[in-house]
Structure 1
Amino acid sequence: MHLAYHSRKASSAPPFPRGAKMPGLRRSRLKVIALAGFALLTLLYLVTKPNGRHTPYKEYTPSGRPPVVVLTVLDEAKYSSTYLEAIKENRIQYAEKHGYKTFFAKVGDYDMNNAPSSWTSVVAARHVLTQFPDCRYLWFLDQNALIMNPQRTIEAHVMDPARLDEGMIKDYPVVPPDSIIKTFSHLRGRDVEFLLTQDKDGLSSGSWVLKNGEWARFFLETWFDPLYRSYNFQKAETHALEHIVQWHPTILARLGLVAQRTVNSYSTGDHGEAYQPGDLAVRFIDCSTPSACEKEAEPYIAQSRAAFQSS
């Protein structure tokens, strides 16, 4: 008897039972792999190409043009135009002699959000660094002050690292006489970015020097914090400065405290070190009224003009 021949079915299922869907899935995976490979090749190209090698972060160093900007804030509502013109003339003569620039801000130039007008000095300093991004130093000098020695420069006589190493006041209370926070004993002149003086009452914010750079911008942003401006400090920005210097080690680590007569002699010795001939600048400290301040300034204006004429 012959049995009819029947083809035997395969003993296993087809390898792709869902053949209609697998090609699409495979294409999707291949696309992902291709994109990943392209991204990797692009990264390798950017890293290894001759002009595109990765370089470590480097802080921008201003070129020093101009070397110094002298900043003064003028209050036209309180002081006579004659007095303010004498102050401007003094700064301009000094700047022209040394290749510096001047910047005259006015009370009312900036929106202070109801903060005391004395805060203008801080926001004006920020403005200076925007206008002169390559300056090396910013010297803020109060309007009630005059530059008396045209021969002295900020670079050589104030901020020179070797001179700072000799003259900095170290391991001393930041706010005398009882502050437990003291200036760093190991600070070197080359590390100073903010130069300041004290008087008999504490830190004096009427004359200071700031080295331009990223640290300077951090410092000014910290000082101008809205919290400090809204706080009812008795001496506004001066007491805010005393606070941040004492409680922010990052700022204290760059603070160079120097003898008052370096940049900030007073017209009398009642509140601090009195001016002596040869000092860089003098501030009229007993300005009970604008008219009294202008009268006190008269002999110094004459002396400073004579000094510039003979220099």
Structure 2
Amino acid sequence: MHLAYPPRKSSTAGKYMPRQKMPRISRNKKTAIIIGSILVFFWWLLFSGSKRTSVHPSASKGVAEHFPTGKPSVVMVTVLDTSFPKEYTDSIKQNREEYANMHGYGTLISKVGDYDLHGSPFSWSKVVAMRHAMAKYPDAKWIWYLDQDGFIMDPKTRLHDLISDKALEQAMIKDQPVVPPDSIIKTFTHLKGQEVELVLTQDKDGISVGSFAVRNGEWAKFMLDTWYDPMYRSYNFQKAEIHAMEHILQWHPTLLSKLAVIPQKLINAYQTEKDGDQFQDGDFVLRLTGCTKGDGEKSCDREGGRIAQKWRTAFKNA
């Protein structure tokens, strides 16, 4: 059964309603009302002002921003594919841990499969691992990702020296196409070292994310969350997260404005020159790009074993 709506009341006075007179207010009452209103206003102003000064500026957003203290100065992140020979992955882990212990850095070494990527290629694990490192080391200054095909060859070189504000000021390549050689989107020309939040290198194909660093903080969280957006992960980029990074840097000025591209050999030298700058003795990092799981000439196990002898000797003599 439907109930009838109550009759709508008219918004205007009826034609035959008697006119009512407004009560007259004496002069003394008017003065009292004015003074009372002024007192109430000043009381409210004083009370609300004291509340505003006692609350953290970010509390209005519901979340207080955390400012890292810089301890440790660097956290090293690597994701290991355990389908590779154990001797090879153990060598990579040892390389990271010995270097980190030498300089007081933190480490986060995870494995492929540790994170639920919701069907995305395993190469996206690096992005989740970086966010994991930020949560584990909230006071770290820099988070450095180095792929499992990379070895630290010069233990005396400290990463935080290479990417200090002063060092970045001198090393960053300005007015550089983001995707060389033809990209019309270029790195900023007036960027200062202290403004840099993301440090990348390029190879002959474009942006390289096999060795890169991000300054820990709210901007880094925003960048990593943007990069890991389901839209980019589901899009059929030929090189998955690499091409996704190139896309967001060219289409999002908020990200491009904090990018420093530095010479590849500083943190990302390759074994051969066909793909980028070739490693030479004395360089900081060597990456075995293109090495395979098998037993052939290009197997990571074979090449990694040869390289392991060199880095262990360098660490012993450091």
TM-score (norm 2): 0.81
The aligned residue for residue 28 of structure 2 is: none
- Structure 1 residue 44 and structure 2 residue 46: aligned? yes
Q: Partner residue of 1:99?
A: 104
Q: 1:173, 1:14 → 2: CA distance?
A: 79
Corresponding residue for residue 83 of structure 1: 88
Aligned match of 1:306 in 289, 296, 313?
313
Alignment partner, residue 204 of structure 1 = 208
Assess, with a 3 A threshold, how the Cα gap between structure 1 residues 85 and 185 changes in structure 2: closer, same or farther: same
C-alpha separation in 2, matches of 1:144 and 1:90: 12
Root mean square deviation of aligned Cα:
2.5
Q: Are the counterparts in 2 of residues 265 and 281 from structure 1 also a CA contact under 8 Å?
A: yes
CA distances 1:10-35 after superposition (whole Å, capped 9, x unpaired): xxx9999xxxxxxxxxxxxxxxx99x
SS at match of 1:208: strand
Question: 2:44 & 2:315 partners in 1: Cα distance?
Answer: 63
**SS in structure 1 opposite 2:163?**
coil
Which of 283, 287, 293 aligns to 2:287? It is: 283
Where 2:212 maps in the other structure, the secondary structure is strand
Contact 1:46–1:53 under 8 Å retained in 2: no
Query: Which piece of structure 1 moves more, 88-97 or 51-60?
Result: 51-60
Report the number of matched residues. 278
Aligned residue for 1:134? 139
Pair 52,206 (structure 1): closer, same or farther in 2 beyond 3 Å: same
The amino acid of 1:127's aligned partner reads H
Q: How much does 1:286 deviate?
A: 2.6
Q: Deviation at 1:60?
A: 3.4
**Secondary structure of 1:221's match?**
helix
Amino acid in the other structure paired with 1:305: R
Partner letter of residue 148 of structure 1?
M
Partners of 1:200 and 1:271 within 8 A in 2: yes
Q: Deviations over 1:232-289 (max 9, x none)?
A: 1111000000000111111011000000001000011110001111211110013144
| Closer, same or farther: CA 221–290 of 1 in aligned 2, 3 Å | farther
Alpha-carbon distance in structure 1 between the residues aligned to 2:152 and 2:249: 27
1:47, 1:147 → 2: CA distance? 55
Percent identical: 47
Q: Within 2, Cα distance between the matches of 1:136 and 1:177?
A: 32
Partner in structure 1 of residue 193 of structure 2? 189
Q: In the alignment, is the contact (CA less than 8 A) between 2:143 and 2:213 conserved in 1?
A: yes
| Range moving further from structure 2, 53-62 or 190-199 | 53-62
Q: Structure 1 residue 44: deviation in Å?
A: 3.3
Cα deviation, 1:22-64, whole Å, max 9, x if unaligned, reads xxxxxxxxxxx99xx69x9577335337x94456459532001
Structure-1 separation of matches of 2:304 and 2:274: 17
Q: From 134, 139, 148, give the equivalent of 1:143.
A: 148
Partner of 1:293: 300
Q: Secondary structure at the match of 1:203?
A: strand
Contact 1:148–1:307 (CA under 8 A) maintained in structure 2:
yes
TM-superposed deviation, 1:299: 2.0
1:9-28 alignment, distance < 5 Å: none
Q: Residue deviations 1:133-174, cap 9 Å, x none? A: 110000000001100111111211x21122212111111111
Tell me if 1:272 matches 2:276: yes
Kindly tell me: are residues 84 and 43 of structure 1, through their superposed partners in 2, closer, same or farther at Cα, counting changes over 3 Å? farther
The answer (yes or no) to whether the contact 1:47–1:54 under 8 Å persists in 2 is no
Q: Secondary structure at the match of 1:180?
A: coil
Match of 1:64 among 67, 70, 73: 70
Q: Distance in 2 between matches of 1:121 and 1:42?
A: 52
- Tell me: CA distance 1:302–1:247, structure 2 relative to 1, closer, same or farther (3 Å): same
Q: Residues of 1 paired with 2:221 and 2:118: CA distance? A: 21
Equivalent-residue separation in structure 1 for 2:119 and 2:45 (angstroms)? 52
Return the alpha-carbon distance in structure 2 between the equivalents of residues 171 and 15 of structure 1. Answer: 78
Structure 2: state its 5+ residue gaps: 1-18, 23-35, 59-63
Whole-angstrom distance in 2 between the partners of 1:269 and 1:72 = 24
Equivalent residue letter for 1:103: L
1:286-305 CA-to-partner distances (Å, cap 9, x unmatched) read 31445412212222111110
Paired residues of 2:88 and 2:300 also in contact (CA < 8 A): no
Larger radius of gyration between Structure 1 and Structure 2 = 1
